[in-house]
A = this chain, B = another copy of it.
Amino acid sequence: MSENTPLRLGIAGLGTVGTGVVKIIRQQAALLSARAGRDVVITAVSARDQSRDRGVSLTGYAWETDAVALAKRDDVDVFVELIGGDTGVAKDAVEAALALGKDVVTANKALLAHHGQSLAEMAENNGSVIRYEAAVAGGIPVIKSLLEGLAGNEITRVMGVMNGTCNYILTNMEKSGRGYNALFDECAELGYLEADPNLDVGGIDAGHKLALLASIAFGTQVDFDAVELEGIQRIELQDIKHAAEMGFRIKLLGVTQMTGRGLEQRMTPCLVPAESPLGQLEGGTNMVVIEGNHVEQVVLRGPGAGMGPTASAVMGDVMDIARGIRIPTFGVPAAKLQKATSAKAASPAPFYLRVGLHDKPGAMAKIATILGEAGISIDRMRQLSHADETAPVLIVTHKCMRQSLDEALHTIAQSKVVATAPVALRIENL
């Protein structure tokens, strides 16, 4: 593709994000052209339903019912994949585009989290690039910052709150005093949930994002299966209340760092200091913290979802391609990405535990004994008043390894003193 010729996009998927991209290109053609040094045009689109009114004109674009056919069109230079899903037509169409040497822009975190390595290899073998700014943290240019802006650093840690729906639920539980289920239902009504809600509240969507950031940060092959994943479904109002009393808020927090034992990747609900930037993050906003050996710490905050912000990220990638920016998918050639040893939770931390005990004498002593035998020392322990026969006990441990704790919790769960499975939340003193 030489400069000055128009860059021709084929857009597959005309949901919220796809429609947003079409709007930007129709409304701001002159501005985009001035910045890119060439026109950026849509030649063809595809979606399941051609008849639906999307609030934007599709006049002048060829229509394909099949995204793979769209990807293969001669008049498409860049295949913009906004279908979603880690298998099926999204993957087929991306592969078809790459096989023909076309560039790909995608917002599909699941696809890259599961097939990032093979797709990166395929892209490089065919002289294509894959860009995916919209896949992580919505409108925040976090991929660009990590991949390019901070390329002079050895990255030491990346952290973030990267699922707006979970953060909306958690912050509104605290604000409104309503429980998890009520806020889950509200999110469903507001359209904040993925078709499979477990992608959101189970931490999977945010885990996908973390796996992509880890690959760029540490030059490793994307390894989503190695992410320690835990959702927010078991967080109760009392957890949020007790966290607040200790000066903390509960966030679905992603952390990845390279440790002596291997690559740590975790996306789990954590207690973070209420006064920290991550603790203060409210609603659907996302935040990513990048730490490097020279830059110290950079914090990026912005909208994690929505038509405008996500389309903005897609357009950032399109503009990069229009301007001739061509960088390997994860920052170094795919063949140079290392297979990292996984260290799911390599660093010790204090934990917050909530255990529901049968209200019988000796139950608390039993728990304390099991923890002690596992080498986990207790900082604070407190039995709460209760109306029924299950007595909630809150425990804050001293620093321990998650693995030791899990073993102890397994023993606790099997003991006869426990009425409900324990909840364990890491305390992250940022």
Contact = CB atoms under 8 A, between A and B. Distances in A.
Given A145-B145, A300-B300, A316 B151 contact: yes
A37 interface: yes
A323 interface: yes
Contacts of A297: 302-303
Contacts of A154: 28, 31
Interface stretch (A201-209, A229-237, A261-269, A325-333): A325-333
A294 interface: yes
A301 B298 contact: yes
Interface in A28-55: 28, 31-32, 34-37
Interface string A192-208: 00000000000000000
Interface in A265-324: 277, 292-303, 306, 308-309, 311-316, 318-320, 323-324
A152 B33 CA distance: 10
A34 B218 CA distance: 12
B319 A152 contact: yes
Nearest to A152: B315
A309 B325 contact: no
Contact of A312 (B34, B140, B150, B325): B150
A136 B350 CA distance: 39
Given A294-B309, A298-B140, A302-B297, A35 B151 contact: yes
Contacts of A153: 312, 315
Interface string A147-163: 01111111000000000
A380 interface: no
A313 B20 CA distance: 32
A139 interface: yes
B323 A20 contact: no
A69 interface: no
Copies of the protein in its oligomer: 2
A311 to B, nearest CB: 6
B295 A302 contact: yes
Interface string A1-37: 0000000000000000000100010001001101111
Interface in A347-385: none
Interface size class of A (residues with CB under 8 A): 35 or more
Contacts of A311: 152, 294
Contacts of A327: 323
Contacts of A298: 139-141, 300-302
A130 to B, nearest CB: 15
Contact of A34 (B144, B219, B323): B219
Q: Which of A133, A139, A277, A328 has the most CB of B within 10 A?
A: A139
Nearest to A331: B35
Nearest to A33: B332
Contacts of A133: 149
A52 B37 CA distance: 46
A285 to B, nearest CB: 9
A316 B141 contact: no
A24 B152 contact: yes
A148 B294 contact: no
Task: Rank and list the top 4 A-B pairs by shortest CB-CB distance, nearest first.
Answer: A152-B315, A141-B149, A294-B308, A298-B302
21 contacts: A31-B219, A133-B149, A139-B294, A139-B298, A141-B148, A144-B144, A148-B316, A149-B316, A151-B315, A152-B315, A152-B316, A153-B315, A277-B301, A293-B308, A294-B308, A295-B308, A296-B303, A297-B303, A299-B299, A300-B300, A323-B325
